[in-house]
Structure 1
Amino acid sequence: MRNLGSLHQFLGITAERTSTGLLLHQTKYAESILARAGMTNCKPLETPSNPKTNVSTESPTFSNPTLYRQLVRALQYLTLTRPDIAYAVNRASQAMHIPTEVQFSALKRILRYIRGTVHYGLPLTGNSLTLTSYSDSDCARDQQDRKSTIGYCNFLGNSLISWSLKKQSTIARSSTEAEYRAIAANTTEIIWLRRLLQELDCPQNGSTTLYCDNTSTIALANNPVYHARTKHIEIDCHFIQECIQNNSINVHHISTKDQLADLFTKSLPNARFKELTNKLILSSETISLRGDVSNK
């Protein structure tokens, strides 16, 4: 083994030192995606998706599906440091088999948003080693198949360290079921993170707080009464209840306004999108202007 010095580049990800830790970004990679799409000088947009637009299945097929797939795959790698585009890229990924003109227009919107935020990345700080989590779900928002999208994100102190969103494989019969399945998916991630932190000599002495904005889901998690409405999610009920009893997680209510995982489950209006994005990512240009980047 040999000491390679401070981290600067790793698999296309740039690590810039700040006064509080690190900023991970993929500015050069994002610019290469824009160049591949011929959109280097495109007009920037404030959000990667339009909440008022519904993708129509009747739109003509896009003439260059190979380009569409290449761009989507490239954007999937960009989400490693850009959680703000995760939902929009996930939606674009669902059309890779037969992309349409409308779906390509939606993809170009993502690229126009990236054009204006090309210097943004993921800040990592060492202020705390306490694990906290946020879990959310929409309910049958997809008008094509009415399947819900679950999303969650996990923080170590103030640093976002993991996030995920996924369309559910079955149709949820209620918002409680959709939210409960989101909690179940997130709990498996929390258990893995807790074990990893234990191996890294950073044990979580107490239970991990998991925030959810659905009161019925929280009530079911703490007191799983199996009746006609919840019998079909009995396995998840047992799993969550076991994790609560062994002090791995502690499910708390949070207002929808403060639900950070909201960013991963739906397209949001400009003001709401900016509010949540500002809590997750940061611009390397802003850091440079503030003089926070270390020259050591």
Structure 2
Amino acid sequence: MPTIRVFILLALNQNWPIHQLDVANAFLHGDIHETVYMTQPKGFEDTLHPNHVCLLKKAIYGLKQAPRQWFHKFSSHLISHGFKQSQADYSLFTFTNSDIQIHLLIYVDDILLAGNHSETVSKLIQNLSHQFIMKYLGTVNHFLGIQIQNNSTSYFLSQSTYATSILSQARMSSCKPLSNPSFTKLPNIPFTDPILHNPLSYKQFTGSLQYLTITRPDIAYSVNVLCQHMHDSQPVHYHLLKRLLKYLQGTIHFDLPITKGPLKLTTLSDADWASDPTTRRSTLGYCSFLGSTLISWSVKKQHTVARSSTDAEYRAIAAATADILWLQKLLVDFQVNSVQSTKLYCDNMSAIAIEIDHHFVRDHIQSQHILLMPISTVDQIADIFTKSLFTKRFQLLRFKLTVQPEPSICREVSEQLSTTSHNLTANKPIA
């Protein structure tokens, strides 16, 4: 998903249209190199040889190797035509020839394509459509269940339709919305919801919410807490699940914007020491911005118990450093060569001071791949990934994460405010 966000951001910055293609029956294109037999399919049995079996010459759906063989055939075709496969993300292919630059991103049978030479892009689409059975879907507006709206200066990634379907399944489409997805004080009332109070329903809704975090980083921490208790959910977790669904009801039209700007990578990391009351393990979180666009984030419970808050914060820095190095490698594959060091912000001064004792972070600081920078706890955006927050604090950090209502919703609110203001002015008595 970070690759997709970077792909869209770079196309936006270069004013390249993003084309979308869909491969029909993708797995049937793969070649089989092993000897594989199958029973005769129903309705196509050979009456003269009913006990014979079929020798497969091409891949079919249901074979374990079918996805791999399809991707191998498609990638081999691209490489034979001058494309280079990214080492940071194998689903990304780039073509560079003189002044021509083209990027192609594939996810199973969905393809995004963008470049600076429209004639070459058109020829590539024709070539792929001739080699494989493909459908050209025009410029991108819906990819992997994500609605993609765009204007001249930005794209907006939204899963509002998907979120609506989750609420509908939970029969909470008309529930009272809440302004915070988690609580800082545990509820002491019994949980009585007949739909959600079921271990299977808990797992199903939690899995669905996990996919929603693709465009909603503001719920990442709450979903992470739910995921930790998939097999031992307690009443408090059912309360948290219902509260999160009520929060979605009030923010159903929030999305993640991708906006033009300088391609400067910045990361913030944070940790909440010994936050799990049972295991006493800490929770780490970090997020990375490319310019003003949020492209990557993560929430994780640390594998071992940290002996101090400094230890927990430093492990968060190490995790963020690994993500920074991967993003830097990805940007190089996109032909974005940033000579500036990536600034990594941390609100724990002790964690910054001990980097000389830890080789991984120390080496990358010395080679100037990253610069460790102090930041006040008040301004620490990654704080939203590590703990439950009071509503005012949560809403402030959500704003800094750039999660916001869809443009159409903003326009409606703006028009309503404008109409109200006009009416008040019109009815105002003259002094």
TM-score for both structures, normalised by structure 2: 0.61
- The amino acid across from 2:340 in the alignment is G
**1:128 is matched with which residue?**
262
Larger mean Cα displacement after TM superposition, 17-26 or 64-73: 17-26
Per-residue deviation, residues 217-262 of structure 1 (Å, max 9, x unmatched): 11112x33xxxxxxxxxxxx10000001111100000000110000
Distance 1:10 1:264, change over 3 A: same
Are positions 1:248 and 2:369 aligned together? yes
Helix, strand or coil at the partner of 1:5: strand
**Which of 243, 248, 252 is the matching residue for 1:114?**
248
Verify the 8 A CA contact 2:157 2:215 in the aligned structure 1: yes
**2:301 is matched with which residue?**
167
Verify the 8 A CA contact 1:55 1:103 in the aligned structure 2: no
Helix, strand or coil at the partner of 2:166: helix
**1:294 is matched with which residue?**
none
Cα RMSD over matched residues?
2.1
**1:277 is matched with which residue?**
398
- The amino acid across from 2:364 in the alignment is C
- The amino acid across from 1:276 in the alignment is L
1 CA distance for matches of 2:186 and 2:353?
35
**2:279 is matched with which residue?**
145
2 CA distance for matches of 1:15 and 1:270?
29
Helix, strand or coil at the partner of 1:210: strand
Distance 1:8 1:288, change over 3 A: farther
- Listed as ranges, the matches of 1:44-123 within 5 Å are 44-53=177-186, 64-123=198-257
**Which of 158, 176, 185 is the matching residue for 1:25?**
158
1 CA distance for matches of 2:181 and 2:138?
37
**Which of 335, 360, 368 is the matching residue for 1:239?**
360
**Which of 289, 295, 301 is the matching residue for 1:155?**
289
TM-score for both structures, normalised by structure 1: 0.89
Distance 1:19 1:43, change over 3 A: farther
1 CA distance for matches of 2:308 and 2:346?
15
- The amino acid across from 1:193 in the alignment is L
Larger mean Cα displacement after TM superposition, 67-76 or 139-148: 139-148
How far is 1:59 from its partner?
A: 9.2
Q: Which has the larger radius of gyration?
A: 2
- The amino acid across from 1:143 in the alignment is P
- The amino acid across from 2:258 in the alignment is L
- The amino acid across from 1:213 in the alignment is D
Aligned residues: 276
Are positions 1:206 and 2:340 aligned together? yes
How far is 1:53 from its partner?
A: 2.0
Structure 1 stretches of 5 or more lacking a match?
A: 225-236, 292-296
1 CA distance for matches of 2:221 and 2:152?
30
Verify the 8 A CA contact 2:153 2:260 in the aligned structure 1: yes
Verify the 8 A CA contact 1:132 1:210 in the aligned structure 2: yes
User: Which of 1 and 2 has higher RCO (CA within 8 Å, sep 6+)?
Assistant: 1
- The amino acid across from 1:282 in the alignment is Q
Helix, strand or coil at the partner of 2:155: strand
Give me the identity figure in percent: 49
Are positions 1:192 and 2:326 aligned together? yes
Distance 1:149 1:54, change over 3 A: farther
Verify the 8 A CA contact 1:59 1:100 in the aligned structure 2: no
